[in-house]
Amino acid sequence: MKKIVVIGGSAAGAKAASKARRLDEFADITIIQKSPELSMAACGYPYYIGGVFNDRRQLLCTPAGVIRDPTFFQKAKNIKALVETEVRAIDRNARQVHCRDLKNGTEQTIAYDRLVIATGAVAVKPPIPGINLAGITTLLTMADTDYLRAVRDAGEVKNAVIVGGGLIGVEVCEALQSSGIQVTLVEAMDQVLNFLDWDLAKLVENHMRSQGAQVLTGVGVSAFIGDNGRLTGVQLADGKTIDCGLAVLAVGVRPNSGLAREAGLSIGECGGITVNQYLQTSDPAIYAAGDCTEIPSRITRKPVFAPMGDLANLAGRVVGENIVVGNTVTFPGTAHTAICKVFQFTAGSTGLSEQAAEKSGLRNYTTVVNASPDKPGFMGARILISKLLVDEHQQILGYQCVGLGDVSRQIATAAMAVQAKLTLAETVHADLPYAPPFSPAIDHFITAGHIMENKLQGRMTGIRVREVWEKLQAGEKLFLLDGRNPDEYEEMHLGVGEHLIPLGTLRSRLDELPADKAAEIICFCKISLRGYEVECILRAHGYTNVKVMEGGIVAWPYPRKR
């Protein structure tokens, strides 16, 4: 009878134990979990806090509605689950773990033939003065979740500050703001959601502000202010103070690898447990999975820390099989795929962003921004703004998408293209499902590929909205050509000195353009489809310095007149 011990009973640990049981009915399997709960749906915490659903048990239930507690694991899976029990040390020579019952203080030693470490991550708590005041919390555990839900339900806190603009920070911002609490999100970097590039992240920030949240970027927190041991405000690095009764620290997590480090296992440069392709640690009898590990990027092959729930489940499944039948299944790593709901917006990314490519040392790549609908107008189209990145071989390296429409489908499609190492030529002819309720005849993702083709073939010269803005701020004299109709212009326009020449009248109004055909002309419309058509016409008439503002007005994150 093989003895399997799993340290950690959340996503990776519970999945590893369950997979091992399915493959070996007679193994002796024990899960040791420090918290009272098992197999928590941690990604659902913000939605329980915000009242999207109100039954706490749904965070702990199977699809059939059964609570995944020790009784469930024992009866349904014949797995012993010790909750509120902490592993104090791993004795690799004796193949034993020493643990302590946190309820009564008793200690025991459990032997193993195979050990799985799935200790997850710990929240980063920077050494900011006042950080231990009552009213300051992280969001990592069920206890954190229960606290924030109680604050929300009590209705006594009127103002809250979220410190950090990553996935958790943005999701908690929505949960609290939608619950009637005025939220200010503070991010030290110059953007939220760093899996996006700046130009798309700013569109997300603008949407958050439109929903009533305050978003401050490029400023850190210098101190938490309190009275009688309780939080009353947050002082920013620029000297300003925000009054609040609640602060949520969402500045990130780090691998909970201390136990493995103390046991002498190899720890990588990201701070996570080092594992091989079978998720085996430097000790052949010990495997590790989930947020306590570091795994390879499927694009750069460099080790990365990727604390994502789906990856933890996938990795746990691989470990569960390998500890029973031997090293037969490999784990390829991460494609850096992420998505989140931001009020009515969705923001997602897969592969490398432009900033991630730069950090990885990649230089020979090309990007385009695409603004186009997620379905036909007569089916209630919503505009999506996306960014496609290809390398010098025209292989798809990354893709980002934000907007009110079906972002999830776009990211899922792109994720498979990235992981399959598809080229642009293969992607633009992808046979994707089409019907008007679901997509245009040419899907948004494929449209991005078509724009990239035009750009690489020299048929379109793109310019980013940020470049246009910087030119304007520098006082450059630009000829900005809006190719829409007057009624569209009155409904929405930049108000930066652009010239309105509708596409249908352009050929008869060429005399209104600069006499110098080498002068820079920047064309656009709402999404810059007509901007591209304007460029085609002007090039045919001898204009040599025509550019299309990629994404058009909807991709413009700066103030506009209307």
> How does the average pLDDT of the chain come out, rounded?
97
* C-alpha to C-alpha distances, 406 to 51, 308, 374, nearest whole angstrom: 23, 21, 6
The widest CA-to-CA distance across the chain, in whole angstroms, is: 89
First to last CA, the chain: 72
Residue 433 CB neighbours (<10 A): 9
Residues paired with residue 349 on neighbouring β-strands, in sequence order: 338, 400
Give me the pLDDT at residue 363, please. 86
Residue 6 CB neighbours (<10 A): 32
Interatomic CA distance for residues 48 and 172, integer angstroms: 10
Residue 113 CB neighbours (<10 A): 14
75 CB-contact burial (10 Å; exposed 0-12 / middle 13-18 / buried 19+): exposed
Q: Residue 265 corresponds to which tokens in the numbers above?
A: 């296992």
Give me the pLDDT at residue 126, please. 94
Residues in the chain: 562
Q: Residues in the chain with pLDDT < 50?
A: none
Quick one: which of 467, 506, 462, 463 has its CA closest to 484?
Answer: 506
Amino acid at 366: T
Amino acid at 526: K
**Strand, helix or coil for residue 165:** coil
Give me the pLDDT at residue 84, please. 98
Amino acid at 537: I
**pTM, rounded to two decimals:** 0.95
Residue ranges and CATH numbers for the domains of the chain are: 3-120+254-325 (3.50.50.60), 136-251 (3.50.50.60), 346-426 (3.30.390.30), 462-555 (3.40.250.10)
The residue with tokens 């969402």 is: 250
Give me the pLDDT at residue 163, please. 98
Interatomic CA distance for residues 286 and 117, integer angstroms: 7
Quick one: which of 361, 370, 549, 560 has its CA closest to 471?
Answer: 549
Interatomic CA distance for residues 452 and 417, integer angstroms: 15
Residue 199 contacts residue 357 (beta carbons within 8 Å)? no
